[in-house]
Amino acid sequence: MNRKILLKDLKIKDYKDTWDYQTTLLQEIVDVKIYNRRNNGTKKTDNYFLFVEHPHVYTLGKSGDLNNLLLTEKQLEEKGATFYKINRGGDITYHGPGQIVGYPILDLENFFTDIHKYLRLLEESIILTIAEYGLKGERSEGETGVWLGVGTPFARKICALGIRSSRWVTMHGFALNVNTNLGYFDHIIPCGIRGKAVASMESELGRKLDIEEVKTKILTHFKASFEIEQFITS
């Protein structure tokens, strides 16, 4: 099993270009797995972790409801935002500046073959990260992601999760609101959940965060949670 991960920070990158890039990496891994099974091969599969910050964009998961987007095409254009219906799970969410988006493209057969466990460990990595800033992240039953104030009238989501997997290879991932302009969430029903708010680390702490510092902490906790052997920067 290969427990090394190739780490790539794409900085600011268009959503569609990044989606295409993820798809290419996933297909390369799947092709190796298909070759191994057909030829009794033993070639190792690669794992990737992509960091990226997207320009303003709304994305709707494959089971999502388009009615949860509250903007017309013209209004999207006025907001400088784009929209894509994509192939991950979950409903609608927003990506934009000041948000850390992480896309682990892992062959789970290098780790464990359990999608539920995969999602919980992604959540755990974020919960442990924001705990370093004094924020108590929690899970909300039946609602994937990381929340604050669960069980109170002020429950709010600080990190959204949505993934896709093919032959145990993952794509898409998480979006942690760090210094995010939360006003963009006013134009959707986030994750299709009515009556619950969104939060950012900045809105909770009353100050801007060092994005690179937060990324480093995410990697530390991701490495421990998934028992990663090594991150290789490329």
| Annotated binding residues for substrate | 88-95, 160-162, 173-175
CA-nearest of 91, 94, 64 to 82 is: 94
The residue to which tokens 């669960």 are assigned:
150
Our answer to whether residue 159 is catalytic in this structure is: no
Distance CA 13, CA 55 (A): 7
Distance CA 77, CA 83 (A): 10
**Contacts of residue 151, Cβ cutoff 8 Å, sequence gap at least 6:** none
Question: For residue 100, which phi and psi values (nearest 5 degrees)?
Answer: -95, 115
> Contact at 8 Å (CB) between 196 and 156?
yes
Q: What is the CA radius of gyration of the chain?
A: 17
Strand 82-85 relative to strand 92-95, pairing? unpaired
Which two tokens mark 69?
A: 């987007």
Which two tokens mark 66?
A: 């388009």
Among 25, 81, 188, 191, the one annotated catalytic: 191
> Contact at 8 Å (CB) between 28 and 46?
yes
Instruction: Tell me the catalytic residues.
Output: 191
